[in-house]
Structure 1
Amino acid sequence: MSYIEQTLTKLQKSSPGQPEFYQAVQEVLESLEPLFAKEKKYLEHNIIERIIEPERQIMFRVAWIDDQGKVQVNKGYRIEFNSAIGPYKGGLRFHPSVSSGIIKFLGFEQIFKNSLTGLAIGGGKGGSDFDPKGKSNNEIMRFCQSFINELYRHIGPTTDVPAGDIGVGGREIGYMFGQYKRLTGRYEGVFTGKKIPWGGSLARTEATGYGTVYFAQNMLTTNGQALEGKTCVVSGAGNVAIYTIEKLYQNCALPVTCSDSRGFIYHKSGINLETLKQLKEVESACLSKYAEIHTDAVYTPVSSYPAGRNAVWSVPCDLAFPCATQNELNQADAHELLKNGCILVAEGANMPSTPEAVEAFLNAKIMYAPGKAANAGGVATSQLEMAQNASMIQWSFEEVDVRLKTIMKNIYLTASETANEFGQPHNLVLGANIAGFRKVADAMIDQGVV
């Protein structure tokens, strides 16, 4: 049995029932094999055994009272994975699918994503199986306050700085920040994703989507191509998808799809961004309403998708941007994209492509950008928010956007140069994983056994 197989077997015994976590670890470890062959110090210092175990795992009960006066109970999580290069940094996700395994997979990915930004931030993640959908503002406020009644003990501006994620936007961050301030008596940058008047950063909402497009631009430029005129398919309808679509339009590309948990829209003439923002950011409505407003658009419900497939990826395109959730694009979807002439896939979501889909893209040698590289713009801008909070100033949208564009270019160059170093120039999965790992691992060696 190989070293990687032994490691995964031990991990499955120590952390049972966490398939997404195993998937994330396996993907990274397999990419690192050329590095281990070249530099023995990482195995000699047992870096792998140390880096796949979180430094701290916090799980707690969240009891809160709904509008009918009934007590409800949810689970809360914060996984503080690695602080070798900076304070723990990563979002909070409120969604019924949240479990310890989901949070661990996200936290593990966050280590390397944060490392690739070149900024001083470690990896962490958190959340709850609480579902904000259908809840009143008062119910969400009471839940957030109860959540922070436990979490506040474990976070701080130089310790652990949470942000938003699925189900956690400016409203939820506001309620949590307010409760933290009430409990501690301190006004400090302990959360990112705050609203602008009380410490938020301009361009933070747009950053993940914009950054994904900037990364794709760098890939295309290197290969002598441009975004202009390209037909693009996008999954998702949250912040990442919306601002991916916005930035695509700004670069004269044509995004023709978006999706939510119930179905997807195909609008051949191009997604109407104003309608999408109104439905999702203002009304929190189902995308089926989009087709009622734009009769030339086609809405396909999830129930009509082919078995095991995501029909978004069957729409002919030049470029694909998975911006919804993990494992939303499988092997059959990948082959459909390739058959239809797709030349680039840039992941706005975390681990949206299954291992088989990733293998198909790499074998075809199309331009493929893994999430930990392509979607790092969000956490990078969160760190820029931390910097603004620490100095008690606020930068302009343009200044933040310029910094974001530079960071995304540097991530691309780092991943690309590392892939070239190891003789696989088309493999940005390998390049991103080795570059992200090497920085953290070297810091762990420098700091001793802690």
Structure 2
Amino acid sequence: MKSSEVVNSVKMRFPNEPEYLQAVKEVVESIEEVYNEHPEFEKANLIERLIIPDKIHTFRVTWTDDQGRVHTNMGYRVQHNNAIGPYKGGIRFHASVSPSILKFLAFEQTFKNALTTLPMGGAKGGSDFSPRGKSDAEVMRFCQAFVEGLWRVIGPDTDVPAGDIGVGGREVGYMFGKYKKLAGEFTGTFTGKGREFGGSLIRPEATGYGNVYFLLEMLKTRNIDIKGKKCLVSGSGNVAQYTCEKLIELGAIPVTLSDSDGYIYDPDGIDEEKLKFVMELKNLYRGRIREYAEEFGCKYVPGARPWGEKGDIALPSATQNEIDQQDAEMLIKNGVFAVSEGANMPSTPEAIDIFIENKILYAPGKAANAGGVSVSGLEMTQNSERLSWPSEQVDEKLKWIMGNIHENCVKYGTESDGYINYQKGANIAGFMKVAKAMMGQGIL
């Protein structure tokens, strides 16, 4: 297998899907050497079978707003690979949603889920509907209409969706309620549910907490203490909030947050009181991050991202490709020695090259942000057993999983000079698990 030939083939077959192509290119270049050590993989045409999704479901979603106007959006579910377990992955509601973005997310999810040690395949879904500015009733009607197009292809042993950008506990609850009525069953078909009806403790916190747990493992390899380190965090939603919460608990100092309108820089640091304000602002009132600057009198930069500020650690927790080459160069110049990705593919290939060339600690999203889907997997287990575990038990399992992911990244990513290439390690570890499962199940 030559990675360049694989990438060119994908580019020719799917010329208008840049995000998907980017994700494929990043993985196949990392695994080329190990793939070619297994001639049985090439004989079974494993790479093409792994790249192309198993199924893509596309459907129309029609809903009515509070004024009685009828709207139509697109709905999608990309079921990428179920070699190691039921399809598992989030649902995203955002105007940017497209087949390319969902295919890249489902592709990444396949390897991320393999890294968790839990039996979950990879999938992703969503719609170009945006909940921003919509009433609760409008969001409910949309979620119910979305599930009408989705419910026949999901189930507790088939495909278990969760939340993602634009889809939190409210949206998951509406979707689960509609699924329950249509399917006539109460099963763990969705994760990220309310605690009153099957949700797991610390599921909302899991992606942010897990990202910091992985960061701690990386810092240990260089005997660095996180206490007192200034952290640049992007985003202000669920992942960013709980990343900040865990950083504050450990004595680190988050100094930035952002949303699609701009970012804030608070040189005094975001403490527990300020974070509580952010959580209420974003979760209860669905406000904008500029209101933080107005409340606490700090710097706000509209239309920009926080990567030009000085700090020690960067934790991108917003969306894909939010750090480009120029941003990466600025981060290095300003003294950042570690980047741990809370979002999915937030760094461009050029940015990643800069991080690796400078030998900084760099954790790709498929490893660092696997905490969310890990606790989703634990929620699936609790639902199957009709049990609810205490938060301490879930948190300990999460720490173990993130430590195990780090261990596998070190195993496959340590280079001859001792530098740990976490990107390479994560890709190879995830690939080998899925590849062996596919080979063991024959040509399907």
| Partner of residue 26, structure 2 | 27
Mapped to 2, the partners of 1:253 and 1:405 lie a distance apart of: 18
2:45 corresponding residue in structure 1: 46
Structure 2 gaps, min length 5? none
Q: Pairwise mapping of residues 118-133 of structure 1 onto structure 2 (< 5 A)?
A: 118-133=117-132
Query: What is the 5 A alignment of 1:409-420?
Result: 409-420=403-414
Amino acid paired to 2:302 = P
Q: Where do 1:31-430 residues align within 5 Å? A: 31-271=30-270, 272-295=274-297, 297-302=298-303, 305=304, 310=305, 312-420=306-414, 425-430=419-424
Following TM superposition, by how much is the alpha carbon of 1:442 offset from its aligned partner in structure 2, in angstroms?
0.5
TM-score by length of 2: 0.98
CA 1:138–1:442 in 2, change beyond 3 Å: closer, same or farther? same
TM-score relative to the length of structure 1: 0.96
RMSD: 1.2
Secondary structure of 2:205's counterpart equals helix
Q: Is the 8 A contact 1:34 1:422 kept in 2?
A: no
Distance 1:102 1:422, change over 3 A: farther
For 2:240 and 2:227, the matched residues in 1 are separated by 19
Question: In structure 2, how many angstroms separate the alpha carbons of the residues matched to 1:5 and 1:421?
Answer: 22
Residues 314, 100 of structure 1: alpha-carbon distance in 2 compared, 3 angstrom cutoff? same
**Is the 1:362–1:426 Cα contact (8 Å) retained in structure 2?**
no
Give the secondary-structure state (helix, strand or coil) at the position aligned to 1:265: strand
Asked if the contact 1:90–1:124 (Cα under 8 Å) also holds between the matched residues in 2, the reply is yes
Shift of 1:67: 1.0
Paired residue type of 1:287: I
Report the CA distance between 1:40 and its aligned residue: 2.5
| Per-residue deviation, 1:423 | 7.4
How many pairs are equivalent? 441
How far apart are residue 92 of structure 1 and its match?
A: 0.1
Instruction: Quote how far apart the aligned CAs of 1:170 are.
Output: 0.8
Which letter does structure 1 place at the counterpart of 2:5? Q
- Distance in structure 2 (CA, Å) of the matches to 1:193 and 1:418: 32
Q: How far apart are residue 9 of structure 1 and its match? A: 2.2
Contact 1:173 1:193 in 2 (8 A): yes
Decide which moves more: 160-169 or 28-37. 28-37
Q: 1:336 to 1:60 in 2, by over 3 A?
A: same
For 2:373, give the aligned amino acid. V
Provide the C-alpha distance between the structure 1 equivalents of 2:351 and 2:106, rounded to a whole number of angstroms. Answer: 22
Name the CA distance, whole Å, in 2 between partners of 1:53 and 1:421.
30
CA-CA distance at 1:39 after TM superposition: 2.6
The one-letter amino acid of 1:298's match is K
Equivalent residues of 1:416, 1:425 under 8 A apart: no
| Identity within the alignment, % | 54
1:231·1:317 contact (CA, 8 Å) conserved in 2? yes
Q: What residue identity is the alignment partner of 1:384?
A: L
Q: How far apart are the structure 2 equivalents of 1:239 and 1:16? A: 33
Q: Which residue pairs with 2:430 in the alignment?
A: 436
Gaps of 5+ in 1: none
* Cα deviation, residue 66, structure 1: 1.1
CA distance in 1, matches of 2:357, 2:12: 32
